[in-house]
Every structure is written in structure tokens, then in C-alpha cells.
């Protein structure tokens, strides 16, 4: 098990003898964790490109421990920093610090990589940010706010949200392989088309990009490195809370060794992550991998499986609101404004618009939390981002498809 020249420290739980012989499938390869910042850690990346060097080589079946940083690479003391009007991080350049990529021995393009999550150990603090770019931000009518949480193995609490206790539902927001050269070209082209049309998309940006030698301002390919914000066919920032301990996610392998990377650890998140963030945290995640030949077709995105208990809400009781695609005639929803449709302004009902239905369910839930529990609208937005699930009710009852917002009531402890 010899690391790449860009190797990091690799620890094993067995003796040096077994490490050198590489005969034990129970050995642990520990990746990442050096340095105080992503830029100081050779195993930390925040861009995706097929030329990013592997930081370790691991046999399929071995346990890999990824030591990860929170989405903003922040290190905050909850006793000194409880809330602020805005995030202290510098823009989106650092997002997301991922650990990897790891070369999985024997994996070749065309294979499917099965990644099973064995454990996720949370850090001691986390944070959540209500940002202007959050889902439904133009209609929820809230301000910006950044809050810090105290974390333990069971629950999270924040001085900025008294009376709230969020149970541990930790998972990695990002599980990804690296795109291949062909896939990279396709992804860059289609996202450029979207940007040229005025759509919401984040194009390559070299600011704070890692690895800097490839993706930074003086790097060799700064305009080819994909941002980690959106998920794509290779996986990435899927932000699916069900991909947690006990789940297996199936990712496509586009290059030799696949290039497995994980990060963006969340202590808890509601379906939708509506404010733009969950409870973001550092952490250590342990996974194992399996190479699947003739695996499922992942053309439209990764697959995953696991115990049905992962689908449950973390509460014994809930309250829910519903939403349909209704609006004022003069309104043009922000997310479709770039299409410049002359029809939208005069309509009060959009046919089969799941996005608008979800916004309406969310607004109703924000109103309910404010009225029932006395929090302000921004606090309610933060609560929704870390605890409220937006789920599709039905897609067939045209024109009014339905979305429901589900609030677990056990989070309210006072």
C-alpha cells in the first residue's frame, strides 16, 4: 500500500508487518487531517478535475477513514461566537473542502464503485447560515444570520436558538468520484450554456481553489476545474441525509482508480437544506468500498440503498404544511426569471411547478413556526434548514402538484 508522491500520512490499525504485506482487509487507511487549513493539507481539495493527483492507494474492501473539514473550513468556539449577521467566511471560494482523492486498486473506467458508510464521528462544533441564495429566499422574506452549534454524539444546541435540540443525523454531503476528460468537457459545456442563458450556475473560479497547482490562479488549468457546489453524474454534493451510516452509494468510475473523495459533513439537515446550509461540521467518516462490474446505469445520477430506518424523521410526532404551484399574477419566481417568459407574469397558477409548490409549503411552515413558537422569521428559516423535510406529495394531479413540509416536533425541548 504505497501512497502517491503527493502522499499524506497513512496510518494502519495493525502492525507494520501486515501493513507492508497488505493482507488484512480490516486495516484502516487514514486520509487527511494535517494542517489547520485546507491549503495546508495535501489531502484537501475543493475542485474536481481528472488530473488531480491521488493522495493514497487503497485496496477494495479496506476501511478508509476520511478526516474532513466543515464546508467553510472554519474553526469557531461556541462559547465565544454564537451568532452574527453574516458568515465570517470569505465568499464561496473555499467551498467545499473535501478529503481525497483516493485511488481504489483494480477499479477502471466503466466500473461502478460501491461505497458503504460504516461510521461518522462528529466534531465538537458546527454552524448554519441563512444566506440570500437559500431556497425560496425571495419569498420567505428573512434576513441573513450565521449561528454556531455545540455538538455531541446525541444532539446539537445553539445559544442563538434557545429551546431547540437537534438530534444527531450525521452524513456526508459530498461523496464523489472524479470526472473523466470526456465527462469534464460535457459538464463544462452544458454549464456554460446555462450561464450564458442567465441560469443559476457556478462556473470555474480559481479563488482559494485547491489543489492550487492545478486549479488556483497560477495553476495549469484554472478554468477547467469544476466547482463542488452542484452534484453531477459522478456524485458530489448530493446533500441527501439518507446516505448515512449503514447506507451504500453507487458511483460511476470514470478514471483508473475512480478518485474517491468525501466531505461537507453535516450533523443534521432537513430535506431541502433550504437556508443554504445544514449543521456544518468537521468529522471523521469511515467507509469501505467494493468494485461492481456491469453495475447499474448511473447516467442520471448515483444510486444508493440502506436500511429503511434511515428514511424516518427523528421524532415521534410531526406537524406538516402543504404547498401547490400558486402565486400572485404579477410575481415571477426568481428561479425561472432567466427564462424571460411573457406568460408567467399574467398567471396565478403554474402547471406542474414542483419548485413553486415547495416554496409555498416552506413559507407556510415558516409562518407556523413563527406563530406557534415565537421565533423570528430568520430563526424559523434556520430551523427549517436543519430539521424540516420537504417531500413530494403527488405529481399527477395537474396542474397542482403537491409538496409537503414536515416539522419534527420533538426538537422543541422548552
Tell me the per-residue pLDDT of 16-37, one tens digit each, with 9 for 90 and over: 233 333 334 457 999 999 999 9
CB neighbour class for 119 (10 Å; exposed up to 12, middle 13-18, buried from 19) = middle
Domain membership flag for residue 5 = no
Q: What span, in angstroms and rounded, lies between the C-alpha atoms of 252 and 234?
A: 6
Pairing of strands 112-130, 145-151: antiparallel
User: How much is the pLDDT for 409?
Assistant: 98
Count of C-beta atoms within a 10 Å radius of residue 66: 27
- Do residue 296 and residue 339 come from a single domain? no
Q: Which of 113, 135, 174 is nearest to 385 (CA)?
A: 135
**Cell numbers placing 198:** 442567465
- Do residue 276 and residue 199 come from a single domain? yes
DSSP state letters, 32-51: ---SSSGGG-TTEESEE-TT
Q: Which of 87, 58, 57, 54 is nearest to 70 (CA)?
A: 87
Domain membership flag for residue 286 = yes
- Do residue 253 and residue 274 come from a single domain? yes
Q: 3-class DSSP state for residue 186?
A: helix
pLDDT 10s digits, 246-271:
999 999 999 999 999 999 999 999 99
- Do residue 299 and residue 371 come from a single domain? no
What DSSP character marks residue 73? -
- Do residue 178 and residue 325 come from a single domain? no
Least confident segment among 189-193, 329-333, 406-410: 329-333
Of 275, 290, 311, the last residue of a domain is 311
The number of residues making up the chain comes to 414
The CATH number of whichever domain residue 67 belongs to comes to 2.60.120.580
User: How much is the pLDDT for 140?
Assistant: 85
User: How much is the pLDDT for 91?
Assistant: 78
Of 311, 345, 379, the last residue of a domain is 311
Q: What span, in angstroms and rounded, lies between the C-alpha atoms of 386 and 279?
A: 6
pLDDT 10s digits, 2-11:
343 333 333 3
Domain membership flag for residue 251 = yes
User: How much is the pLDDT for 133?
Assistant: 83
Of 270, 291, 311, the last residue of a domain is 311
Please, what is the average pLDDT of the chain? 92
CB-based contact 101:45 (threshold 8 Å)? yes
Would residue 337 be called left, alpha or beta, if left means φ above 0 and alpha means ψ between -120 and 50 degrees? alpha
- Do residue 128 and residue 31 come from a single domain? yes
Q: What is the mean pLDDT of residues 289-316?
A: 97
Residue 405 pairs in a beta bridge with 321, 390
- Do residue 171 and residue 136 come from a single domain? yes
End-to-end CA distance of the chain: 53
CB neighbour class for 351 (10 Å; exposed up to 12, middle 13-18, buried from 19) = exposed
CB-based contact 253:298 (threshold 8 Å)? no
- pLDDT of 226 over the 50 cut: yes
Q: What is the mean pLDDT of residues 206-225?
A: 98
- Do residue 325 and residue 307 come from a single domain? no
CB-based contact 69:44 (threshold 8 Å)? yes
User: How much is the pLDDT for 26?
Assistant: 52
User: How much is the pLDDT for 21?
Assistant: 37
Domain membership flag for residue 291 = yes
For the chain, what is the domain count? 2
pLDDT band at 278 (very low <50, low <70, confident <90, very high): very high
The residue assigned the cell 461518522 is 120
Q: Which of 375, 397, 380, 393 is nearest to 130 (CA)?
A: 380
**Cell numbers placing 46:** 475543493
To the nearest whole percent, how much of the chain has pLDDT over 90? 86
- Do residue 59 and residue 205 come from a single domain? yes
Q: What span, in angstroms and rounded, lies between the C-alpha atoms of 170 and 414?
A: 24
Domain membership flag for residue 41 = yes
232: containing domain: 16-311
- Do residue 52 and residue 94 come from a single domain? yes
Give residue 383's Cα distance to chain centre: 17
Domain membership flag for residue 3 = no
CB-based contact 52:109 (threshold 8 Å)? no
Domain membership flag for residue 340 = yes
Provide the H-helix boundaries in 50-151. 137-140
Q: Which of 186, 173, 171, 174 is nearest to 254 (CA)?
A: 186
pLDDT 10s digits, 108-159:
999 999 999 999 999 999 999 998 789 998 888 888 999 999 999 999 999 9
User: How much is the pLDDT for 81?
Assistant: 86
- Do residue 307 and residue 332 come from a single domain? no
Q: Which of 70, 76, 30, 47 is nearest to 264 (CA)?
A: 70
- Do residue 95 and residue 173 come from a single domain? yes
The CATH number of whichever domain residue 376 belongs to comes to 3.10.28.20
User: How much is the pLDDT for 75?
Assistant: 83
Exposure class string for 312-345: b at 16+ Cβ within 10 A, else e: ebebeeeebbebbbebeeeebbebeeeeeeeebe
Element (H, E) at 177: none
User: How much is the pLDDT for 319?
Assistant: 98
Domain membership flag for residue 2 = no
Amino acid at each position: 500500500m504505497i501512497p502517491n508522491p503527493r502522499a499524506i500520512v497513512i496510518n494502519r490499525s495493525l502492525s507494520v508487518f501486515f501493513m507492508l504485506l497488505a493482507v488484512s482487509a480490516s486495516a484502516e487507511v487514514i486520509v487527511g487531517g494535517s494542517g489547520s487549513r485546507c491549503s495546508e493539507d495535501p489531502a484537501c481539495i475543493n475542485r474536481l478535475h481528472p488530473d488531480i493527483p491521488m493522495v493514497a492507494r487503497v485496496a477494495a474492501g479496506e476501511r478508509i477513514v476520511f478526516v474532513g473539514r466543515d464546508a467553510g473550513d472554519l474553526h469557531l468556539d461556541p462559547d465565544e461566537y454564537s451568532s452574527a449577521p453574516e458568515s465570517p467566511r470569505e465568499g464561496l471560494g473555499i467551498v467545499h473542502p473535501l478529503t481525497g482523492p483516493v485511488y481504489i486498486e483494480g477499479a477502471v473506467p466503466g466500473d461502478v464503485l460501491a461505497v458503504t458508510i460504516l461510521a461518522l464521528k462528529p466534531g465538537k462544533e458546527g454552524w448554519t447560515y441563512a444566506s440570500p441564495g437559500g431556497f425560496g429566499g425571495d419569498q420567505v422574506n428573512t434576513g441573513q444570520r450565521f449561528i454556531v452549534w455545540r455538538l455531541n454524539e446525541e444532539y446539537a444546541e445553539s445559544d442563538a436558538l434557545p429551546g431547540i435540540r437537534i438530534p444527531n443525523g450525521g452524513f456526508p454531503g459530498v461523496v464523489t468520484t472524479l470526472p473523466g476528460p470526456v465527462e469534464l468537457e460535457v459538464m463544462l459545456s452544458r454549464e456554460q450554456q446555462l450561464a450564458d442563458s442567465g441560469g443559476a450556475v457556478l462556473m470555474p473560479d480559481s479563488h482559494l481553489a485547491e489543489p492550487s497547482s492545478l486549479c488556483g490562479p497560477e495553476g495549469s488549468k484554472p478554468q477547467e476545474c469544476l466547482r463542488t457546489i452542484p452534484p453531477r453524474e459522478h456524485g458530489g454534493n448530493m446533500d441527501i441525509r439518507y446516505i448515512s451510516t449503514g447506507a451504500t452509494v453507487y458511483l460511476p468510475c470514470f478514471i483508473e482508480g475512480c478518485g474517491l473523495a468525501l466531505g461537507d459533513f453535516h450533523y443534521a439537515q432537513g430535506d431541502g437544506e433550504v437556508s443554504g446550509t445544514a449543521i456544518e461540521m468537521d468529522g471523521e467518516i469511515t467507509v469501505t468500498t467494493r468494485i461492481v462490474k456491469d453495475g447499474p446505469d448511473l447516467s442520471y445520477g448515483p444510486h444508493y440503498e440502506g436500511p429503511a430506518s434511515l428514511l424516518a424523521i427523528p421524532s415521534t410526532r410531526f406537524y406538516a404544511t402543504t404547498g401547490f404551484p400558486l402565486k400572485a399574477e404579477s410575481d415571477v419566481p426568481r428561479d425561472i426569471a432567466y427564462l424571460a417568459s411573457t406568460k408567467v407574469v399574467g398567471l396565478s397558477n403554474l402547471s406542474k411547478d414542483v419548485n413553486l409548490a415547495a416554496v409555498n409549503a416552506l413559507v407556510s411552515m415558516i409562518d407556523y413556526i413563527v406563530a406557534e413558537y415565537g421565533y423570528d422569521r430568520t430563526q424559523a428559516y434556520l430551523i427549517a434548514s436543519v430539521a424540516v423535510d420537504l417531500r413530494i406529495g403527488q405529481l399527477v394531479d395537474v396542474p397542482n402538484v403537491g409538496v409537503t413540509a414536515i416539522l419534527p416536533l420533538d426538537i422543541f425541548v422548552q
